[in-house]
Amino acid sequence: MRQQILIFIVASFALLTLSRCLLAAWQWSRVRQAGGLAPIIKGGLRIDANQIAMLAGIPAMLSPWLGHYPLAVTITGVWLLAAWFLLILLEVSTPQFIYEYDTRPNRLYIEYLEHPQEVFGMLWKGYKAVIFGGLAALAGLMWLGYMWFGQGPADAPMNGWLRPVATIAAAAIIFLAIRGTLSHRPINPSSVAYCGDSMLNTLPLNSLYSVLYAVYSMKNERSAADVYGNMPADEMLAIVNSCAGITASSSDIPSLHLQTPARTRERPLNIVMIVEESLGAQFVGNLGGASLTPCLDALAAQGWNLTRAYATGTRSVRGLEAVVAGFPPTISDAALRLSGAQSNFFTMAQLLKQQGYRSSFIYGGEAHFDNMKSFFLGNGFDELHERASFIDPAFVGTWGASDEDMFKKLDELLANPPDQPTFTLAFSVTNHTPWEYPSGRITPEGDPATNENSVRYADWAIGQFFEKAKQSSYWENTLFLVVADHDARVGGASLIPLRHFHIPALILGADVQPRRDDRLVSQIDLPPTLLALAGVQAEHPMPGHDLTGVGGERAMMQYNENYGYLRNDQLVVQEPHREPTQYRYEAPASYTPVALDPLLAKEALAHVLWPDWVYKNQRYTLPHLRMRNQ
């Protein structure tokens, strides 16, 4: 039994590595341009170890106790042959899948199995040679598997005291292989993403892993219609477009429209989004908070201060989804974590690439957290700077390099620009439990390791960066957005605790004039507004408002199972499998029940259904990317 398992492990590594090398050779022009074979092989060994440990782990731990029984040997052989069959089947299927869809088998592979008659009919008509070649490879490799590990002699009985030792050792190795890393977060596809070519980022995966991860991720894709109710798609699309002031220019991408800025520029401005971790309005003095942000308050008087901005959710991925993709929230997980959004999904980077921009993501932690790395590299970002790329950081805590290190990297990139406009997303990490930051920067009050003192440090780092930026050569041609991803410690007795969705949002730099703007706005309004200020004219599908014109006065947010739609002072709350309710909201926490306005309720329902519909139908994209999905 132990011999069977060992041979299976070696054979599986050999099979998957050979398959990966052949795929890389087939796509060599793209592989060479992205840095060669090394990152594919290195990442592939990590993913394969994870997959093989899952397949062989239980038999390996049981072998010291059962390996001398012939029945156990037979059952192990059957199990390993079944696992071998799946590995072979998926790898044999991969070249044709890449040819058709420019990616390894994923959730689409499973969805096709729901329509076997149509799919196999298509394959039989158009790909007979591929089918016969694949069946021959499958049969030959299955025969080899049967000869190698499908049968075998029983093990010699192991001494009693060796059994628990061997089991514990095997369990430790299996745990490390499955986790794939000693760092804080276990391995996922984003861990081995290494370039801006989304297909190449799938080569380090093996196809069984890719399909199983896609199936696992589908649990996050709950249907908003099943939870909140439904309406005809045409009506839903019309309502959202009307509320966004969109005149659609495409029937294929229902919200695609041309945004023309009020002011054109000879060269568009650089755009920088600084997303501050958990920096809710409750901490910000100029927004009526606890006055822990003197630097941000001073900057607010120098730029366009959006005093009533609201986050779309309570997680970083939700905030990033809103500001980078302009994508509204829904009950499904954020787009960054959804398998169907890992390529050809609209982002600012996708759009600005068509305008000649180069896009970068800066993060002091490990960028594979929350699948950020895979999502950003697969959707238009050209380069990524995470913890490993920071040279001699001033401070590294649990979540990564400190905010001042992130800002140092941002300053370096802006001070040494390429010969083209740039888009930069910089995401801070410090303001997060366990509240770690370098000493000597602020004078903490009480226990240094508190949320309040962490906010003071985050604000200090913001102030230090902007003092330097205002003296720099890039200030006059760069547009900055400072915005929180969400608030900290969101909670409360209300169905939607709106006071904890209130966040700072400040635009400054270049020729932005000081302005206090008290309109109600959503995070999804920020990216279209930045495009307008930067002087970018382009078609995009974002339903947010360009706040340089008429807009605002509505926000939307997902809070656990509940969805809130706020228009002016009227809040409609959608709860699962219940009729919606409506309240008159007065900040910070007054909710007065009022009669439900049917038109407003329909507007709210359309907005919670819309992101779910455009995601599942692959309609949140750009025309040239949409063609790749068809």
Closest CA to 488 of 473, 474, 503: 503
pLDDT at 624: 87
Buried b (16+ CB within 10 A) or exposed e, 58-89: ebbbbbbebbbeeebbeebbebbbebbeebbb
pLDDT at 190: 81
pLDDT at 131: 86
357: DSSP letter: -
Residue 480 has pLDDT above 80, yes or no: yes
In whole angstroms, give the CA distance from residue 77 to residue 433: 48
Strands 590-594 and 581-586: antiparallel
In whole angstroms, give the CA distance from residue 131 to residue 124: 7
Percent of the chain with pLDDT over 70: 97
* Complete DSSP assignment for 365-404: S-TTGGGHHHHHHHTT--EEE-GGG-SS-S-EETTEE-HH
Q: Compute and round to an integer the Cα radius of gyration of the chain.
A: 27
In whole angstroms, give the CA distance from residue 86 to residue 114: 18
202: DSSP letter: G
pTM over 0.75: yes
Residue 629 has pLDDT above 70, yes or no: no
Average pLDDT of the chain? Answer: 93
Q: What is the residue whose two structure tokens read 């049967």? A: 146
Q: What is the pLDDT of residues 204-258, one digit of tens each?
A: 999 999 999 888 877 777 889 998 999 999 999 999 999 999 998 888 999 999 9
Q: What is the pLDDT of residues 37-53, one digit of tens each?
A: 999 999 999 999 999 99
Residue 117 has pLDDT above 80, yes or no: no
Question: Would you call 556 helix, strand, or coil by DSSP?
Answer: strand
Which of 162-166, 198-202, 464-468 holds the top average pLDDT? Answer: 464-468
pLDDT at 175: 95
In whole angstroms, give the CA distance from residue 427 to residue 486: 12
Percent of the chain with pLDDT over 90: 78
In whole angstroms, give the CA distance from residue 244 to residue 255: 9
Q: What is the pLDDT of residues 346-357, one digit of tens each?
A: 999 999 999 999
Could you tell me if 240 and 124 are in contact, meaning their C-beta atoms sit under 8 angstroms apart?
no
Amino acid at position 232, single letter: P
Structure confidence at residue 316 as a pLDDT band (50, 70, 90): very high
Q: What is the pLDDT of residues 319-371, one digit of tens each?
A: 999 999 999 999 998 999 898 899 999 999 999 999 999 999 999 998 988 88
Residue 503 has pLDDT above 80, yes or no: yes
Q: Which residue has the higher pLDDT, 535 or 100?
A: 535
Q: Which residue has the higher pLDDT, 101 or 93?
A: 93
Residue 281 has pLDDT above 80, yes or no: yes
Q: In the numeric block, which tokens belong to residue 3?
A: 């011999």
Mean pLDDT calculated for residue range 190-203? 84
